[in-house]
Amino acid sequence: MAKPQKTAIEPTRAADFPEWYQQVIRGADLAENSETRGCMVIKPWGYGIWELIQQQLDARFKATGHQNAYFPMLIPLSHLEKEAGHAEGFATECAVVTHHRLEAEKQDDGSVKMIPTGKLTEPYVIRPTSETIIGSAFSRWVESYRDLPLLINQWANVMRWEMRPRLFLRTAEFLWQEGHTAHETQEEAKQEASTIHELYEEFLRDHLAIPVIAGEKTEAERFPGADATLTVEAMVQDKKAIQAGTSHYLGTNFSEAQDISFTGRDGNKQFAHTTSWGVSTRLIGTLIMAHSDDDGLILPPRVAPYQIIIVPVTPKEDSRDAIIDACQALAAVLRRDLSYDGTPLRVHVDTRDTGGGAKKWEWVKKGAPIRIEIGPRDLESSKVCLQRRDEGPMEKHFIPKEDFIRNAAETLQEIHNNLLARATELRDGNINGSESLEHFESHWENEDPGWLLTPWAGSREEEEELSKKHKITVRCMPLDKQSEEALPCILTGNLTTKRALWGRSY
């Protein structure tokens, strides 16, 4: 029997998926826990991924007419109290600032203790989300229907006091974008929420190679204060769900609380219809869990800080300069003459005085899409050694240098397509139908059970009871799975055309 090949990441996904996830992050040098409980330090490679996500999303937002702005991190408590239903949804996660000064107090042992003093007349909440503070600004900016629509986005950090933090997926502080818009009519606002929902679905598919299920949240899972929440749900390799992005139609709930009112076309006072929507650094956690393998991170090319790594192989000192020069020349041609997804190729030549094996495994674990090695024989034959991260780490292709240059962008797209196909196959192979309560309940006894699609006509209370019993949630009511065919609800037996997608989640 062949001896199992050792992997770069231990434990493997099959042995311990949660710990494997942490080790992928460590191996790729993406982030680390900080001295502040529940908060992370995002290291350069991890932040480089976020910067690319941010740049590419930002371009899409601006192409649809949105503008960026910035609003305060500290929100007066009174603002949250104006929208009690919304605030209650975040109340247990809020961090509150109550003092504005520290005073040094000398201790008996000679040490100094810093004592908060100067109690604030009104506490401030560190933003868990910005509907209330942005709504106050909108109320000042809107007077007439001519001032609408307002299409605003903010790139910021938020804080939600997580009890069980996990790097990228759930941290007390995280980075995100939050869009906030105000509209003259319900129809316009609903269309805005739908437009962004589709934008998120396309971005995850076309940039992160992650296929998602697009749907609407049930009342039990809806964003606090929203009339409707649209979501994109991703399945990762342990078959759990991650809510990858949400878009909310807020009705006039916030505009009435914040007095976002305007003089309508008929001369009467009206309240604006508002939306909010966002994605966060959770996308990086989703990407890791969706694509990575037992050798480390695998990055889709559009969000790889370096798409191509060129490694000089210099076994003899006398050929070192010539090989490095050849590597630098190749990189210059790739950067100058080729582009992928509308931007010049991101190419890095690794000239560090480190062993070739160490370099290889570092870039394997960091998930660089393409690695190129050039050694003395390659220099003589005008070939390169091509290694792709969507293939096994020991696979090599020796090809003419000019062929590689000509096909580099196409190869990157092939890698993206392969990652998307794998993730789609995993997802579609692990969504099953269920039309009886007996089958539904026995399904959740399986290890890594995947998702179930069921006819559903139960109440909010019945949904919450089933969810608690099996440690599951309705991920969404998939937009493309609602049917004209009425089937008996798995719980009540009442005929329904509605379909609910259930699963375990992060």
CATH of the domain at 34: 3.30.930.10
- 319 and 201 fall within a common domain: no
pLDDT score of 149? 98
pLDDT score of 315? 86
Among candidate residues 285, 272, 191, the one with its CA nearest the CA of residue 238: 285
* Helix residue spans in 104-174 (DSSP H): 131-141
Number of helices (H) and strands (E) in the chain: give both, helices first.
Answer: 14, 27
Tell me the average pLDDT of the chain: 96
- 106 and 166 fall within a common domain: yes
Tell whether 146 is covered by a domain: yes
Return the residue matching tokens 């809806």: 222
- 388 and 442 fall within a common domain: no
Tell whether 419 is covered by a domain: no
For residues 12 and 318, which has the higher predicted lDDT (pLDDT)?
12
Question: Among 364, 384, 413, which residue terminates a domain?
Answer: 413
Q: CA of 38: how far to CAs of 18, 19, 33, 128, in Å?
A: 17, 17, 7, 15
CA–CA dist 98, 102 (Å, integer): 12
Question: Among 365, 380, 413, which residue terminates a domain?
Answer: 413
Helix (H) or strand (E) holding 414: helix 401-428
Buried-state track 38-63, b at ≥16 Cβ within 10 A, e below 16: bbbebeebbbbbbebbbebbeeebee
- 221 and 113 fall within a common domain: yes
CA–CA dist 125, 311 (Å, integer): 49
Question: Among 384, 413, 442, which residue terminates a domain?
Answer: 413
- 121 and 42 fall within a common domain: yes
- 446 and 409 fall within a common domain: no
Helix (H, G, I), strand (E, B) or coil at 181: strand
- 137 and 239 fall within a common domain: yes
- 176 and 250 fall within a common domain: yes
Is the bond preceding residue 455 a cis peptide, omega within 30 degrees? Answer: no
Contacts (Cβ under 8 Å, ≥6 apart) of 366:
27, 28, 29, 45, 296, 297, 299
- 276 and 127 fall within a common domain: yes
Measure CA 491 to chain center.
Answer: 33
pLDDT score of 82? 81
Q: Examine the pLDDT at 440 and tell me if it is beyond 90.
A: yes
Beta partners for residue 112, in sequence order: 106
Tell whether 426 is covered by a domain: no
For position 317, which CATH number holds?
A: 3.40.50.800
- 287 and 310 fall within a common domain: no
CA–CA dist 442, 235 (Å, integer): 21
CA–CA dist 91, 80 (Å, integer): 10
Q: Examine the pLDDT at 88 and tell me if it is beyond 70.
A: yes
What's the predicted TM-score (pTM) here? Answer: 0.96
Using pLDDT thresholds of 50, 70 and 90, give the confidence band for residue 79: confident
Buried-state track 444-478, b at ≥16 Cβ within 10 A, e below 16: beeeebbbbbbbbbbeeeebbebbeebebbbbbbb
Tell whether 69 is covered by a domain: yes
Q: Examine the pLDDT at 333 and tell me if it is beyond 90.
A: yes
pLDDT score of 274? 98
CA–CA dist 284, 343 (Å, integer): 21
Domain count, the chain: 3
Contacts (Cβ under 8 Å, ≥6 apart) of 349:
310, 311, 312, 324, 327, 328, 331
pLDDT in tens, 122-165: 999 999 999 999 999 999 999 999 999 999 999 999 999 988 89
- 170 and 144 fall within a common domain: yes
pLDDT score of 4? 58
- 373 and 471 fall within a common domain: no
Residue-range definition of the domain harbouring residue 317? 306-413
Tell whether 6 is covered by a domain: no
Return the residue matching tokens 């034959």: 381
Tell me the CA end-to-end span of the chain in Å, nearest whole number.
Answer: 38
State mean pLDDT over 436-444: 97
CA–CA dist 499, 476 (Å, integer): 9
Q: Examine the pLDDT at 52 and tell me if it is beyond 60.
A: yes
Q: Examine the pLDDT at 203 and tell me if it is beyond 60.
A: yes
Helix (H, G, I), strand (E, B) or coil at 450: coil
Tell whether 468 is covered by a domain: yes
Tell whether 238 is covered by a domain: yes
Hey, what are 158's tokens? 């938020």
Using pLDDT thresholds of 50, 70 and 90, give the confidence band for residue 3: low
CA–CA dist 154, 233 (Å, integer): 23
One-letter amino acid of 342: G
Tell whether 21 is covered by a domain: yes
